[in-house]
Structure 1
Amino acid sequence: MSKFIAYYKGKKINAYQGLKLKTKRIIETRSVEEAELFDSLNENDRYPVRPFKARLDKGNPYFAYYPDNTPKNIINNKDGVNKTLSHDVFQLIFSNLSEFLVHLRYTPEEDKILLKINKSYSDYRVTIKGMEKSKTYMVDVLLDLESTYPYSHYYKWNGFLSLEISVSTLEEAGKVSDLSAQGLQVCELRVPNKVKDELKVMSKNMLDEESSISIFKNAYKKYYHLFESKKFTAYLIELGEIYTKNEWKEKYIEMDKFEQQVKEMKTIIKKKQEEVSQLNDEIEKRNHYLNDLKEEKITFDEQMAKDERNINNLREELRKESSKLDSEKKNINEITKENQKLKEKNESLENMSLFDFLFKRHKSN
């Protein structure tokens, strides 16, 4: 059996770090009695391990148990030397994150869950005692949860969650059933195909120890940051039927009911907000229409004022023309009267005889 993560002086280390400790002669790995690396933090249930280079120096190094000193009765153990880069990177990432987002399959895309981690354990052994024989299962990552949001999942899962990193091998139904019966929810964490393909290409360039260390560090740093910053969400599949223990069930039912009510209220609020938004849009449209009417009225009033000024100017011009016409009529009347007088005088002269004219002229003299 091999593993990628072990514990040194109470701290989690990976196989690259283990090899470095061995190469620098900081630790001794020749005998079980001198071993300083273990597969667990539990001093009452731990086994010593030692680091090895990858076969032919291609791929990741690994920890292996000492001969004749290995855990007994491990069932359905998919652990092996030929673990993929994807598995090792993701196992280390999710055993180190203090919080991250997950999305459960078969739930709405927007329903994400925030997990906050109290402690995490890699390659954790879960022993189930039976009447005839005990069974032990290896869990990729066991999460001791501090809290979840929404809160109900914390109680539903009895405060713990088992993550199985899935690259190609699926978990066996027997393991899922046995762990679920103990109240441990098993979740399959699928490595996204795009990420898996990228890491597969990268692993082909792990030709020696130096390149392997560099590639692993870069891959770990990149994807750790994406999950830590919550730019990436872990997609989980809840396997089996979870058994919520009695001490958690009442709180779970109460919290789940409350969260459903909150969800319904949020749906109602969202609907009302959409209605308000539509009303605001309609009000805005009507305000635009009123503003257009106001602008048209202003333009109309300005035109009316202009037209009124033009009418007043025409009236003034008409008054002047009328006054001028009256004056001309008066002159015409005076001229007409004068002409009448001259005409009458002329007619009088025409009717007067020469004798009368001479007489009248003599008399006037």
Structure 2
Amino acid sequence: MVEKLYAKWKKSASDFEIIDSDTALDLKSKAIIITSPKEKAVIFDMETDLAVRPVKGRKSQKSRGLSYFSFYPGETSPLRGVARLIEWSDELKIFLEAFENISKFQIKEFGRTPVIIFPEKMEKLKVLETSKGRVILKFLVKIEQTIPYSWGYQYNGYLGLEFVFAGHPTPKKKVGLEQEGISLFEAEAKFPKWMVIPEDLTDRKEVEKLVKEVRKVYQERDYHLLGKFVNEKVTFSDYQEKYRTLKHYEEEIESLKKEIFELNSKIEDLKKKKEKQRQWIDKEKEDLLEYQSKNEYYKSLEIENRELSFEKSDLLSKVDLMEEEILQLKNRSLWNRIRNKT
């Protein structure tokens, strides 16, 4: 028996959907899918294409009671003893559900500017046949638009997205995707530090709550998928010319933005200098008005002083006249007294 969380639901000869074991059990309970007999099975393992069935787990000392997909009795996987194409975990399931319907997200390599990706389609657990064999991508992202705009063209309009929890992509996977023109971005799938992850993830409501929060963090907040590209970039000729043209325009735009920024900085500097000059002129005007005011005051004092000087001179003249008259009076009186004595 091998336990897996996802499998292919074959709806028709050309149409299938990736579903998890809980969804499969729900579809089975509603008689939408048939799991018995095996010949009528419509759910298949993604790695081997063998029929599988959803099983409701049972809690025990060794198991948490999570549902899973199992091969039918008496059938074993041909990949027994071989490394799996995909590592399964509760964390992976949450990130797969969160990113399946995400409208935008950011990826960031160390030391580089983040890239914003607007996906046209997020193909979950995409099975691809390459020259190196079958590989399963956590997501094959069909790119609708990116910021910078040219970025998506250098990657041929697609991105392979891997969430890493334990094992890393195999060399076969890296080279096989590279030959298909699909660059593989290996991201650290980190839960935000403030999120509390319960030990028991069998409660569907708790899982949906986590899924919603993870999607909100990476879609609406400035949270990046930190990681690196793990295979060589191969840009097909159909995209090379578009990429070069757009990249040229983007570089010119950035150059113009830089020039505009520098000019705006100069304008701001000139405005500051102009404001300082205006303040200096206003201060000089104030000083001049103060000087003029003081000058008028001094002029008025000078005039007043001149008038007082004239007044003083007049008074002195009058005093001199009065003293002369007094002297004359004194002399006359003395002469009269002398005459009277004789």
What TM-score bracket applies, with the shorter chain setting the length? 0.7 to 0.9
* SS of match in other structure, 1:21: helix
Q: C-alpha distance in 2, partners of 1:236/1:329?
A: 110
1:187 pairs, out of 161, 185, 192, with 185
Q: C-alpha distance in 1, partners of 2:49/2:116?
A: 31
Q: C-alpha distance in 1, partners of 2:129/2:273?
A: 65
Q: C-alpha distance in 1, partners of 2:341/2:271?
A: 109
On the 8 A contact 2:154/2:235 being kept in 1, the answer is: yes
1:77 pairs, out of 84, 91, 103, with 84
Aligned to 1:262: 253
Q: Report the Cα offset of residue 345 of structure 1.
A: 4.8
Aligned to 1:52: 55
Amino acid at match of 2:199: K
Q: C-alpha distance in 1, partners of 2:83/2:179?
A: 17
Amino acid at match of 2:95: F
On the 8 A contact 2:133/2:176 being kept in 1, the answer is: no
Aligned-residue CA RMSD in angstroms? 3.8
Q: Going by fraction, where is helix more abundant, 1 or 2?
A: 1
Q: C-alpha distance in 2, partners of 1:197/1:167?
A: 16
1:171 pairs, out of 169, 172, 175, with 169
Q: C-alpha distance in 2, partners of 1:321/1:247?
A: 106
On the 8 A contact 2:7/2:43 being kept in 1, the answer is: no
**Counterparts of 1:130-169 in structure 2 under 5 Å?**
135-169=133-167
TM-score (norm 1): 0.74
Q: For residues 253-306 of structure 1, what are the alpha-carbon distances to aligned partners after superposition, in whole Å with 9 as ceiling and x for unaligned?
A: 3333333333333334334433433343333344444444444444x24xx425
Q: For residues 288-340 of structure 1, what are the alpha-carbon distances to aligned partners after superposition, in whole Å with 9 as ceiling and x for unaligned?
A: 44444444444x24xx4256336525743662574266246415413522431
Q: For residues 64-88 of structure 1, what are the alpha-carbon distances to aligned partners after superposition, in whole Å with 9 as ceiling and x for unaligned?
A: 5556597989x853435xx333222
Q: Report the Cα offset of residue 229 of structure 1.
A: 1.4
Aligned to 1:3: 5
Q: For residues 340-359 of structure 1, what are the alpha-carbon distances to aligned partners after superposition, in whole Å with 9 as ceiling and x for unaligned?
A: 144135225415663xxxxx
Q: What stretches of structure 1 of length at least 5 have no aligned partner?
A: 355-365
Q: For residues 157-212 of structure 1, what are the alpha-carbon distances to aligned partners after superposition, in whole Å with 9 as ceiling and x for unaligned?
A: 222211111123211223201210121111112123xx27777x624243xx3xx3
Q: For residues 114-173 of structure 1, what are the alpha-carbon distances to aligned partners after superposition, in whole Å with 9 as ceiling and x for unaligned?
A: 3222222222111125xxxx7111111111222323233322222221111112321122
On the 8 A contact 2:102/2:219 being kept in 1, the answer is: yes
Amino acid at match of 1:237: K
Q: Does 1:89 align with 2:94?
A: yes
Q: Report the Cα offset of residue 6 of structure 1.
A: 5.3
The verdict on how the C-alpha distance between 1:353 and 1:236 changes in structure 2, with shifts beyond 3 A counting, is closer
Aligned to 2:22: 16
Q: Report the Cα offset of residue 222 of structure 1.
A: 0.6
Q: For residues 198-254 of structure 1, what are the alpha-carbon distances to aligned partners after superposition, in whole Å with 9 as ceiling and x for unaligned?
A: 77x624243xx3xx3233112111110122214322234112112222322332333
Aligned to 1:319: 307
- Aligned residue pairs total 331
On the 8 A contact 2:54/2:67 being kept in 1, the answer is: yes
Name which of structure 1's ranges 263-272 and 239-248 shifts more when overlaid on structure 2. 263-272
On the 8 A contact 1:6/1:63 being kept in 2, the answer is: no
On the 8 A contact 1:118/1:145 being kept in 2, the answer is: yes
Q: C-alpha distance in 1, partners of 2:249/2:55?
A: 52
Q: C-alpha distance in 2, partners of 1:34/1:92?
A: 28
Aligned to 1:232: 223
Aligned to 1:202: 197
The verdict on how the C-alpha distance between 1:240 and 1:17 changes in structure 2, with shifts beyond 3 A counting, is same
Q: Report the Cα offset of residue 63 of structure 1.
A: 4.0
TM-score (norm 2): 0.78
Amino acid at match of 2:171: A
Amino acid at match of 1:125: V
Q: C-alpha distance in 1, partners of 2:333/2:148?
A: 128
Larger RCO, structures 1/2 (Cα 8 Å, 6+ apart): 1
Q: C-alpha distance in 2, partners of 1:60/1:265?
A: 57
Q: Which of these two proteins has the greater Rg computed from alpha carbons?
A: 1
Q: What stretches of structure 2 of length at least 5 have no aligned partner?
A: none
Identity of aligned residues (%): 21
On the 8 A contact 1:100/1:230 being kept in 2, the answer is: no
* SS of match in other structure, 1:346: helix
Aligned to 1:359: none
Q: C-alpha distance in 2, partners of 1:8/1:230?
A: 36
Name which of structure 1's ranges 114-123 and 163-172 shifts more when overlaid on structure 2. 114-123
Q: C-alpha distance in 1, partners of 2:172/2:261?
A: 44
1:305 pairs, out of 290, 293, 300, with 293
On the 8 A contact 1:122/1:139 being kept in 2, the answer is: yes
* SS of match in other structure, 2:117: strand
